[in-house]
């Protein structure tokens, strides 16, 4: 058997050096692209935050902000850097790529207990930890062949499912009830326009059978 002695094999040495340089080159190129993509994501998220505030105005009620910060700490949602509440009557939450979570007044008015609030925050946080913003950005940048409307819908359906599953797990670990959220979702569903896109998305997320009774906690129901 012939054993290759690397020290004495000049060709192999040169080849290995080239391979290492090529690998280093690829990884630094990759790091540069990731860095650039992230800067674009963050710039867009900051624009989106500004637009939400310009369009609706900030709600300054310390009650909501304190509650939000408390829950972020309890659930250790460490990718969130700030919580904002905007004065919008519709119910929605946004997790922005730079770590701000934005909640609407309309959402807070429809919550009846901490379990529901915990689920909403955990769901939004999961979009960050599961890198859904980056995935969506990749899809737009390099769309696969035959990228149809139904495939886009499928992608968004999947990321919502993943965020829900991740929130369910976290709530269970932290002794919250992951089923309470469905009472909230059903309330929101009633208020959303039937046949709209949002209505369809909501419909798919709701579990309707075998739910425990909805808990009503004073903090949330004394409005």
- Give the x-and-dash track for 170-199 against Zn ion (CB under 5 A): ------------------------------
For residues 205-214, b (16+ Cβ closer than 10 Å) or e, as one string? Answer: beeeeeeeeb
Interface stretch with Zn ion, choices 38-46, 163-171, 193-201, 205-213 (CB under 5 A) = 163-171
Picking from 177, 132, 198, the residue whose alpha carbon sits closest to that of residue 159 is 132
DSSP state of 94: E
- Rounded Cα distance between 134 and 85, Å, is 25
Interface stretch with Zn ion, choices 22-30, 141-149, 156-164, 173-181 (CB under 5 A) = 156-164
Of 96 and 163, CB closest to Zn ion: 163
- Give the x-and-dash track for 107-146 against Zn ion (CB under 5 A): ----------------------------------------
Contact call for residue 163 and Zn ion (CB under 5 A): yes
DSSP state of 95: E
By CB under 5 A, the count of residues binding Zn ion is 2
Of 108 and 163, CB closest to Zn ion: 163
Rg for the chain, CA atoms, rounded: 23
For residues 133 and 195, the answer to whether their CB atoms sit within 8 Å is no
Q: Which residues bind Zn ion (CB under 5 A)?
A: 160, 163
């Amino acid at each position: 058997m012939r054993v290759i002695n690397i020290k004495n094999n000049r060709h192999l040495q040169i080849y290995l050096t080239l391979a290492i340089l090529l690998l280093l080159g690829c990884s630094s190129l990759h790091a540069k692209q990731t860095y650039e993509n992230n800067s674009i994501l963050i710039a867009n998220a900051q624009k989106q935050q500004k637009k939400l505030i310009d369009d609706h105005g900030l709600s300054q009620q310390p009650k909501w902000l304190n509650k939000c910060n408390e829950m972020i700490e309890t659930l250790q949602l460490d990718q969130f850097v700030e919580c904002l509440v905007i004065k919008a009557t519709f119910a929605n939450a946004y997790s922005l790529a730079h770590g701000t979570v934005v909640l609407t007044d309309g959402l807070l008015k429809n919550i009846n207990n901490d379990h529901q609030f915990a689920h909403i925050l955990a769901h939004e946080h999961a979009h960050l930890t599961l890198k859904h913003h980056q995935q969506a950005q990749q899809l737009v940048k390099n769309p696969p062949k035959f990228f149809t409307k139904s495939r886009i819908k499928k992608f968004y359906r999947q990321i919502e499912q993943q965020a829900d599953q991740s929130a369910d797990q976290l709530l269970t670990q932290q002794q919250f009830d992951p089923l309470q959220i469905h009472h909230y979702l059903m309330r929101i569903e009633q208020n959303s326009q039937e046949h709209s896109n949002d209505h369809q998305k909501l419909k798919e997320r709701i579990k309707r059978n075998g739910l425990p009774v909805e808990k009503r906690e004073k903090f949330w129901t004394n409005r």
